[in-house]
């Protein structure tokens, strides 16, 4: 549950309770590539004071040794990170490399199975050169996937993805 602790106009400071601690907002979450440990998640927690991070469940799911370990011991133990972990779903990989070979259900269920605190739906990345109609359809699909993810997520929280490209009214609708 999100608790607002202070307000100033439209700005809010708050606390989000998760299974692995309270995340105070606004928060900066470093992105950890689970294949590359330049700075380990444990160092981010112990030495730099980060209490939350983001990693990519699509990379984990599609890297056999990482997938096996995450399914066996859970995401937090696999990364050796006691704080809040949010996972992305593969949308960026889809944007960069073409369609990903997973469904929204597969990604939400995988994130849930490995103990993600805050999961992300397989949304549709919108681009600035898209027409308003194409962008609106991508938002419709993203919101449909989000509603369904909320039905199957269990105790995991779901990240609300904001899409809409260059169209302020569509970004507002998505929000």
Query: Pick the catalytic residue: 46, 88, 105, 169?
Result: 88
Whole-angstrom distance, CA of residue 5 vs CA of residue 77: 31
Cα–Cα distances in angstroms (integers) from residue 147 to residues 34, 71, 123, 172, in the given order: 28, 25, 12, 17
**Residue 151 falls in the annotated catalytic set:** no
Angle, alpha carbons 32-51-162 (nearest 5°): 65
Q: How many helices (H) and strands (E) does the chain have?
A: 8, 8
Q: What does the alpha-carbon distance between residue 57 and residue 52 come to, in Å, rounded to a whole number? A: 15
- Residue 53 CA to its chain's centroid (Å): 10
39: DSSP letter: S
Query: 154 burial class (0-12, 13-18, 19+ CB within 10 angstroms)?
Result: exposed
Q: How far apart are CA 152 and CA 168, in angstroms?
A: 30
**Which residues carry out catalysis?**
88
């Amino acid at each position: 549950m999100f608790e607002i602790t202070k307000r100033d106009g439209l700005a809010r400071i708050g606390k989000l309770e998760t299974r692995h601690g309270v995340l105070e907002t606004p928060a900066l979450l470093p992105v950890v590539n689970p294949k590359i440990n330049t700075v380990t998640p444990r160092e981010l927690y112990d030495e730099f004071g980060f209490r939350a991070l983001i990693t990519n469940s699509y990379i984990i799911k599609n890297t056999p040794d990482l997938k096996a370990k995450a399914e066996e011991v859970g995401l937090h133990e696999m990364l050796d990170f006691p704080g809040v972990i949010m996972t992305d779903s593969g949308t960026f990989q889809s944007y960069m490399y073409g369609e990903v070979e997973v469904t929204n259900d597969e990604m939400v269920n995988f994130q849930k199975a490995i103990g993600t605190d805050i999961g992300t739906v397989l949304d549709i990345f919108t681009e600035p050169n898209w027409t308003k109609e194409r962008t609106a359809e991508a938002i419709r699909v993203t919101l449909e996937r989000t509603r369904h993810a909320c039905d199957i997520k269990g105790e995991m929280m779901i990240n609300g993805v904001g899409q809409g490209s260059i169209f302020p009214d569509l970004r507002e609708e998505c929000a």
